[in-house]
């Protein structure tokens, strides 16, 4: 199919301008500016007057739960939710069943995505204390990165041996992405609060989560990762930064392409604070924990100061009954978010915390540059036509019965958003239009220019 998107307000590479975009053969064939004459022929015309046109969002941090946990989510359902939210490419984490810690398990995921995914895709290999040989085999042109858990994790993906950590930082063939929380601190705090709960001295509700998984646990682990990266020269990306203190570890005096150590945060750390546990409860329990308003404000400032480089969702669905228990120690951590990440970031923009070009840089341009993705993340002629139209004047209320997540709920239930994704193109195919999916065309495997 060929499309001619006309009269759009394009947000791209620091500019906001009106233009028309011609899409042909899966690519952005022509950007028509300033009344330039252009004949679109038999292309399907979409009048985008009054709408924003941005590059497809690249979510570098999702848990789509397949294989092995498909009662919670799967690649098909969550990729539908992704494109409904303007996410055209995702990178999926390795804590599935089985864990993605070998070449064979990686290939299984790629095969599943080729069959099921509406969005473009890649998958991380997980690091363990004993799989460095498998990590070394990955093709950096085909695999997005290595995921390192330097804190509590599922299965055996907690890497806690000093010699293994240093070897990984020296030998990883591509970007290392790290979940940083100090395991010793978390274990100690968990035991303390279990004892207090057993004595009846506290109620084991969601409010204790940031007291168990503390800011110090995050900082100590992140500082260790940064120290290792500086020692070895590794390319390190620390994910879901949640604290003011951690921001001290990152630089903002270099452009992204010159940084060796970078940082990601998530929409929920920018939108919620620890007071919200009182009304949202376990719905917003996640790891790392959502922290204080002071931390939230520091993270919001870091969006524009350059200390935060990317936004990823950490989309992590669980079943309703796994989340909504009466006990902190059994309630699962994580929640679905990919369908609404662009909406939340647009709300933060509406509140004055960042500009539209900055939003696009954090969610589209920087993930593409950081991961060195081939021809995505920008509106440029010759690039893949991963494009999103957003209505900036569509007020909607998020409801559990209107989500595309397989788990069927969202912590944003009842939240009012003031923008709406109306059209999502993936590789030049219109896969989502005003609530209707065109599912015959599937996403493609991401390639990396490394």
Do 164 and 228 belong to one domain?
Answer: yes
Q: Answer whether residue 367 is part of any domain.
A: yes
Is a pLDDT exceeding 90 seen at residue 186? yes
Q: Answer whether residue 442 is part of any domain.
A: no
Q: pTM for the complete prediction?
A: 0.97
Confidence bin at 18 (pLDDT 50/70/90): very high
Residues 6+ positions from 408 with CB-CB distance below 8 Å:
320, 400, 401
Per-residue pLDDT at 326:
87
Q: Answer whether residue 404 is part of any domain.
A: no
Average pLDDT score over the chain: 96
Per-residue pLDDT at 160:
81
Is a pLDDT exceeding 70 seen at residue 430? yes
Q: Answer whether residue 449 is part of any domain.
A: no
* Angle (deg, nearest 10), helices 215-232 and 183-198: 170
Nearest to 118 by CA among 73, 68, 82: 82
Q: What is the pLDDT of residues 25-51, one digit of tens each?
A: 999 999 999 878 899 999 999 999 999
Q: Which domain holds residue 15?
A: 3-53+383-393+414-437
Percent of the chain with pLDDT over 90: 95
Confidence bin at 373 (pLDDT 50/70/90): very high
Do 144 and 117 belong to one domain?
Answer: yes
Per-residue pLDDT at 178:
97
Q: How far apart are alpha carbons 239 and 219 in whole angstroms?
A: 12
In a 13 Å sphere around the CA of 254, the CA atoms on its Cβ side amount to 9
Q: Which residues make beta-bridge pairs with 278?
A: none
User: For the domain that residue 345 is a member of, what is the CATH number?
Assistant: 3.20.20.140
Confidence bin at 154 (pLDDT 50/70/90): low
Per-residue pLDDT at 99:
95
Please state which of the ranges 92-101, 103-112, 142-151, 248-257 shows the lowest mean pLDDT: 142-151
421 φ, ψ to 5°? -70, 125
Q: Answer whether residue 376 is part of any domain.
A: no
Q: What is the mean pLDDT of residues 168-181?
A: 96
Do 69 and 105 belong to one domain?
Answer: yes
Percent of the chain with pLDDT over 70: 99
Do 299 and 356 belong to one domain?
Answer: yes
Do 73 and 8 belong to one domain?
Answer: no
Q: Answer whether residue 278 is part of any domain.
A: yes
Do 139 and 43 belong to one domain?
Answer: no
393 φ, ψ to 5°? -130, 40
User: For the domain that residue 421 is a member of, what is the CATH number?
Assistant: 2.30.40.10
Per-residue pLDDT at 207:
97
Do 138 and 25 belong to one domain?
Answer: no
Burial of 225 (0-12, 13-18, 19+ CB in 10 A): buried
Do 281 and 205 belong to one domain?
Answer: yes
Q: What is the pLDDT of residues 230-260, one digit of tens each?
A: 999 999 999 999 999 999 999 999 999 999 9
Is the bond preceding 98 in cis, omega lying within 30 degrees of 0?
yes
Q: Answer whether residue 408 is part of any domain.
A: no
Do 420 and 366 belong to one domain?
Answer: no
Confidence bin at 354 (pLDDT 50/70/90): very high
Do 170 and 278 belong to one domain?
Answer: yes
Q: Answer whether residue 169 is part of any domain.
A: yes
- Per the structure, the count of domains in the chain is 2
Q: What is the pLDDT of residues 400-419, one digit of tens each?
A: 999 999 999 999 999 999 99
**Computed over its alpha carbons, how large is the radius of gyration of the chain?**
21
Per-residue pLDDT at 152:
58
Do 234 and 321 belong to one domain?
Answer: yes
| Residue 253 to residues 80, 256, 259, Cα–Cα distance (Å) | 38, 9, 9
Per-residue pLDDT at 95:
94
Do 420 and 323 belong to one domain?
Answer: no
Is a pLDDT exceeding 80 seen at residue 151? no
Please state which of the ranges 18-27, 77-86, 295-304, 319-328 shows the lowest mean pLDDT: 319-328
Is the bond preceding 288 in cis, omega lying within 30 degrees of 0?
yes
DSSP string of 86-134? TEEEEEE-S-SSS-S-SHHHHHHHHHHHHHH-SSEEEEPEEP-TT-HHH
The answer to whether 390 and 51 are in contact (CB under 8 A) is: yes
Per-residue pLDDT at 155:
64
């Amino acid at each position: 199919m060929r499309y001619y998107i006309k009269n759009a307000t394009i947000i791209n590479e620091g500019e906001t301008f009106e233009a028309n975009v011609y899409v042909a053969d899966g690519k952005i064939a022509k950007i028509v500016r300033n009344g330039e004459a252009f004949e679109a022929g038999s292309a399907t015309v979409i009048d985008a007057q009054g709408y924003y046109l941005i590059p497809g969002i690249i979510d570098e941090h999702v848990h789509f739960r397949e294989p092995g946990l498909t009662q919670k989510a799967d690649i098909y359902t969550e990729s539908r939710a992704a494109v409904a939210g303007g996410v055209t490419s995702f990178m999926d984490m390795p804590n599935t069943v089985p864990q993605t810690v070998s070449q064979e398990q990686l290939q299984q995921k790629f095969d599943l995505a080729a069959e099921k995914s509406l969005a473009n895709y890649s998958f991380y290999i997980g690091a363990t204390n004993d799989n460095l040989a498998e990590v070394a085999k990955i093709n950096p042109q085909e695999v997005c990165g290595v995921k390192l858990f330097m804190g509590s994790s599922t299965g055996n993906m907690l890497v806690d041996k000093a010699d293994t950590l240093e070897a990984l930082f020296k030998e990883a063939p591509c970007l290392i992405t790290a979940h940083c929380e100090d395991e010793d601190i978390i274990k100690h705090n968990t035991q303390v609060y279990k004892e207090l709960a057993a004595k009846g001295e506290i109620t084991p509700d969601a409010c204790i989560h940031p007291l168990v998984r503390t800011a110090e646990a995050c900082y100590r682990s992140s500082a260790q990762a940064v120290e290792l990266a500086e020692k070895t020269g590794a390319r390190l990306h620390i994910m879901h930064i949640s604290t003011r203190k951690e921001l001290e570890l990152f630089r903002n005096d270099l452009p992204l392409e010159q940084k060796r150590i970078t940082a990601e945060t998530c929409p929920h750390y920018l939108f919620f604070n620890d007071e919200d546990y009182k009304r949202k409860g376990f719905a917003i329990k996640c790891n790392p924990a959502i922290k204080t308003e002071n931390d939230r404000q520091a993270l919001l400032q870091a969006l524009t100061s350059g200390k935060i480089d990317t936004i990823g969702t950490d989309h992590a669905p669980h079943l309703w009954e796994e989340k909504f228990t009466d006990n902190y120690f059994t309630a699962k951590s994580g929640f679905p978010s990919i369908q609404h990440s662009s909406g939340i970031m647009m709300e933060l923009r509406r509140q004055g915390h960042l500009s539209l070009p900055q939003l696009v840089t954090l969610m589209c341009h920087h993930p593409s540059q950081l991961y060195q993705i081939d021809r995505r993340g920008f509106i440029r002629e010759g690039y893949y036509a991963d494009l999103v139209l957003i209505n900036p004047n569509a007020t909607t209320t998020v409801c559990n019965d209107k989500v595309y997540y397989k788990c069927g709920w969202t912590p944003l239930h009842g939240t009012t958003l003031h923008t709406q994704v109306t059209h999502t193109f993936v590789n030049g195919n219109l896969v989502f239009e005003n609530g209707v999916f065109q599912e015959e065309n599937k996403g493609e495997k991401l390639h990396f220019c490394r």
